[in-house]
Structure 1
Amino acid sequence: MTNDNILTFHGHVGTPVELREGANVPWVLFRVASTPSFWDQASRSWRDLPTTWMSVKAFRQLRPECRRLVAGRRPGRGDRTSAHRDVGDQGGRGA
């Protein structure tokens, strides 16, 4: 393994999975939302932090896999998912 920086983002699918094709390259696009929470000892309750949204694009061979994993039935909001990306990669290799 190299010294790549990998970003992993866990959350819930927030938009329908869009199937697209551009320059004869199939791809999918959807958004993932994550709202971290923490235990507030003072109020003895869980508190939510602001929601973070990320756009996820998957190209070529990742497209059918994303569609299968995220949209097992019909592309559904609320499905849990994880996205991994090589931060140093600008070539679209990651999802």
Structure 2
Amino acid sequence: MNETMVCVVGNVATQPVFRETAAGPSARFRLAVTQRFWDREKSAWRDGHTNFFTVWANRALAANVQASVSLGEPLMVRGRLKVRSEQRDGQSWTGADIEASAIGHDLARGTAAFRRTLRGDGAPDQASGESSGASARPEPNWETEPADQADGAEPTDQATPQRQEPALAG
């Protein structure tokens, strides 16, 4: 299929609205995307035109939007662009929607704390992130030293074999 995929960076312009539908959870919000450019005459950054997109999220993404996204936050949204044209009160109206496949906070403008959602029957507990019905795989402990470094020995890279240089004849 020929679909127009976009990735936009902007600020949440409306509080996300979450709905449980027969097809599953759905969430929507407006995203303001403002062009920024360098004004050589004033030697300063200036704001240009602002585009507004209605962002739609479905299923698990919708539930995560409800738990994670608030008004004014900087986001990056990737998804399918859909342009709608309608007639309202005798006037032509055009709108741009994004059916989101991924949404994340813009870490160039702030910090975030990621919490993995669990798949299965149980919903994650708000306080501990644990599920009542599904057993979660433990996260790897990236802070642990390898066994050979803990003994004071030189680290070895056993996963990557050393490249052998060919012998020169002569």
> Do they fold alike, i.e. is TM over 0.5?
yes
Query: Structure 1 residues 39 and 93, CA, compared in 2 at 3 Å: closer, same or farther?
Result: closer
Work out the CA distance in 2 between the residues paired with 1:93 and 1:64.
Answer: 13
Matched, 1:84 2:78: yes
Matched, 1:53 2:52: yes
Query: What's the TM-score once normalised by structure 1's chain length?
Result: 0.73
Higher strand fraction: Structure 1 or Structure 2? 1
Work out the CA distance in 1 between the residues paired with 2:100 and 2:49.
Answer: 29
Query: Structure 1 residues 93 and 29, CA, compared in 2 at 3 Å: closer, same or farther?
Result: closer
Query: What's the TM-score once normalised by structure 2's chain length?
Result: 0.44
Cα deviations by residue, 1:62-93 (Å, 9 ceiling, x for unpaired):
111212221xxxxx3211111111459xxx57
Counterpart in 2 of 1:37?
A: 36
Moved over 2 A (4+): 3-6, 21-25, 92-95
Cα deviations by residue, 1:20-52 (Å, 9 ceiling, x for unpaired):
133342100101101121111122222211111
Higher RCO (C-alpha under 8 Å, 6+ residues apart): 1
Q: What is the number of residues matched between the two proteins?
A: 85
Structure 1: gaps spanning 5 or more residues: 71-75
Work out the CA distance in 2 between the residues paired with 1:12 and 1:25.
Answer: 26
Q: Which has the larger radius of gyration?
A: 2
Query: Structure 1 residues 33 and 20, CA, compared in 2 at 3 Å: closer, same or farther?
Result: same
Indicate the RMSD between aligned Cα atoms, in angstroms: 2.4
